[in-house]
Chains A and B, each alone.
Chain A
Amino acid sequence: MIEAVGLTKRFGAKTAVDGLSFQVKPGHVTGFLGPNGSGKSTTMRMILGLDRPTAGQVTINGLPFRELPNAQRHVGALLDAKAVHGGRRARAHLLSIAQLSGIPEKRVDEVLGVVGLQDAARQRTKGFSLGMGQRLGIATALLGDPQVLLFDEPVNGLDPEGILWVRNLMRQLAAEGRTVFVSSHLMSEMALTADHLIVIGRGRLLSDMSTQDFITHNSAGFARVRVAGNGPDGRVILGTALTKAGGRVLQEPDGALRVTGLELPRISDLAHETGVRLWELSPHRASLEEAYMRMTQSSVEYTSTDDPRAELWEPEPLTVPDWEEEVQAPVVPAETAASFFAPPPPGSAARPFLMPGSPADLAPAAQNSPEEPR
């Protein structure tokens, strides 16, 4: 259990963390999200007693970190994969850290096995790839078999197999009743890993709720409708009917309709009434990333200066169909029009690579982009 109360850190005139209060409960993977420079790492460093809070306090199991009787046995942390002496061999590095708290030497070999670095144990860490460094950092965090684990960007530099491994490891650690606190900028990754999300922007708490609630609260779902033959006639008929019924209809580049404001049964009824056959009628939920972008965008909007990030936002990849009275929006080039079955959702071009749940999903992913995370 990690508990922060009014946590504040100022560096000179800059306030990195501003009155942050939250709880991280055991038994869950808690994701910690925020744009670059939002104070994630500073918060983690304050939790670990590396930085002294300007105001407020943060406790682990009721005690400030530096007053824990045996910190390493209670808290394990991965802050920076490169926080090792490059000239030291992996095993010696782990041994020196283990000895600090009287952790038995055989535990070192255990964690080396857990992270799959048995064969690299005798190598100097200078030659490690970023992924190997992350594994070594995770091994360091696991040394004390602690109840509370903090990971700062643990999947950075890992290959797909490694990302999957980290995800399962976090879930397993949480399932054992541990408190797992993970920061990441990979939103889609967090959607698959975290049960609970704490989102900060500019050092302030933006959101503290379960992942499912977060998506529900911050994004609207939509239905994708595809008429038989994908022809324009049926599309216009159905689109007009849907618009009249109070729905909002947008057309995707490949001809499918994106309907908001109407329940799926109602759309089906309307299609039946107008005599239009459907090839697809599927519910969709905006991804965690969309919800997150929407949320942090608002925190960015408070800036008075020009924010170049605005240029990163994708133009709406949807065209307004003919029956809408609005001005015709420009059609997005065909690069977003992927396949018949599952055209990518808005913003898909900006999505980071997403490891599917099982390796079997990887192969068809090329033709059929992965389903929404949740």
Chain B
Amino acid sequence: MTATADATPAASARQDGGYSSPLPTPRPHLGHALASEWTKLTSVRSTVWTLGSLVALVVGIGVFAVLQTGSADYKSIPFVAPALFGMMVGQLAVMVLGVLTVSSEYGTGLIRTTLTAAPDRLRVLTAKYLVFGAVAFGVTLGSVAFVGISAALLRNGPEAGYHGAGEWVGALGGCLYVTLLGVLALAVGALVRHSAGGIAIMLGLVTMPPVLGAILTGWPVSREIGLTVVRYNAPMGLIQLFGLPNSGMDGSPTPSDLAQLGLLVLVTALAVTASYVVVRRRDV
């Protein structure tokens, strides 16, 4: 058998004098892997639990907040702001699902079955990123949009003032931010191959910097570093993208939305690249 693209079983059978199968032999492509990942993602309960809790948190807390507020409250904050409260907790669900998407395969040994069926590992990993990313973004966006539109419809009295398209773009950025955190979690899961380990790393990555930054600002030596950490971290980025006033500790200029997103894109890209390199090389 040669390395030509479509070596049919009949061709190889001729060479071996062996068995030839009636099944079609397409060359596997990314689309096949995407279908497979979609099946995998939709056929386990952890997906339902994590995404379900995300929706419940964002929509539940968001709608509750909308009902508790009046039009006047939206004078200085965007309509999507109520979604942020649930999202602060809900982002953890996205990260947990991101880690589980790949670490559950390693934990159960399924990865060996998968990579035996599809030895082109990068195709499988790419499909994981794409399917998980699309699902996470879709669910996040849907929940945020529901809360935002509810607020816009229910609390659009004259007291609410003017609301431009910018805040919706910001919310879109916020959803992207949460999705990127999930993708980063998937990359971490692929690197550490362990559910609990991956989730712990992601929790630390998201919750530690604000605390750490605050501690660092306490000493004169590390004050500058501390302030930078306080301004650039995951919860702060999310708050800012959702258009809430950024309470800088010293009134220093807040970083732009793009800078917050760009930083996470950079970190995620590094982790994703590392995961590609490691998964391709490593013995399973």
Question: A: which residues have CB within 8 A of B?
Answer: 1, 26-27, 45, 48-52, 61-63, 65-75, 77, 79-80, 82-89, 92-93, 95-104, 107, 137, 140, 143-147, 176-179
Contact = CB atoms under 8 A, between A and B. Distances in A.
Contacts of B32: 99-102
A99 B39 contact: yes
A80 B40 contact: no
Given A72-B118, A96-B39, A176-B19, 16 more contacts: A26-B19, A27-B17, A49-B115, A61-B1, A66-B120, A70-B7, A74-B9, A79-B116, A80-B109, A82-B109, A98-B36, A99-B32, A100-B124, A107-B23, A140-B117, A147-B20
B24 interface: yes
Nearest to B6: A69
Contacts of B40: 85, 88, 92, 96
Nearest to B280: A66
B25 A70 contact: yes
B68 interface: no
Helix, strand, loop or mixed for chain A's interface? loop
A93 B105 CA distance: 12
Contact of A100 (B12, B22, B109, B114): B114
Interface stretch (B41-49, B73-81, B264-272): B41-49
Contact of B12 (A61, A86, A96): A61
Closest 7 CB pairs of A and B: A92-B43, A83-B109, A26-B18, A99-B36, A145-B21, A96-B39, A177-B19
Contacts, number: 166
Contact of A67 (B3, B9, B29, B281): B3
Given A83-B108, A101-B28, A147-B21, A66 B119 contact: yes
A179 B7 CA distance: 18
Contacts of B4: 69
B193 to A, nearest CB: 14
Contacts of A103: 23
B283 A145 contact: no
B16 interface: yes
B110 A85 contact: yes
A51 B15 contact: no
Given A71-B117, A73-B21, A104-B23, A61 B43 contact: no
Interface string B47-73: 000000000000000000000000000
A103 B28 CA distance: 9
Contacts of A100: 28, 32-33, 36, 114, 117-118, 124
B39 A65 contact: no
> Taking each of A63, A70, A71, A140, which has the highest tally of chain B beta carbons within 10 Å of its own beta carbon?
A70
Nearest to A9: B283
29 contacts: A26-B19, A27-B18, A62-B1, A67-B3, A69-B7, A70-B28, A72-B118, A73-B23, A82-B108, A85-B105, A85-B110, A87-B44, A87-B45, A96-B39, A97-B117, A99-B36, A99-B39, A100-B33, A100-B114, A101-B32, A102-B28, A144-B21, A146-B21, A147-B9, A147-B13, A147-B16, A147-B19, A178-B18, A178-B19
Contacts of A145: 21-23
A82 B5 CA distance: 33
Contacts of B6: 69
A92 B39 contact: yes
Contacts of A178: 18-19
A41 to B, nearest CB: 11
Given A61-B12, A69-B5, A50 B118 contact: no
A316 B39 CA distance: 58
Contacts of B33: 99-100
A39 to B, nearest CB: 14
A69 B26 CA distance: 9
B18 A147 contact: yes
A28 B65 CA distance: 70
Contact of B16 (A61, A65, A68, A75): A61
Contact of B108 (A51, A79, A86, A98): A86
B118 to A, nearest CB: 4
A373 to B, nearest CB: 27
Contacts of A50: 112, 115-116, 283-284
A63 B113 contact: no
Contact of B24 (A48, A66, A74, A102): A102
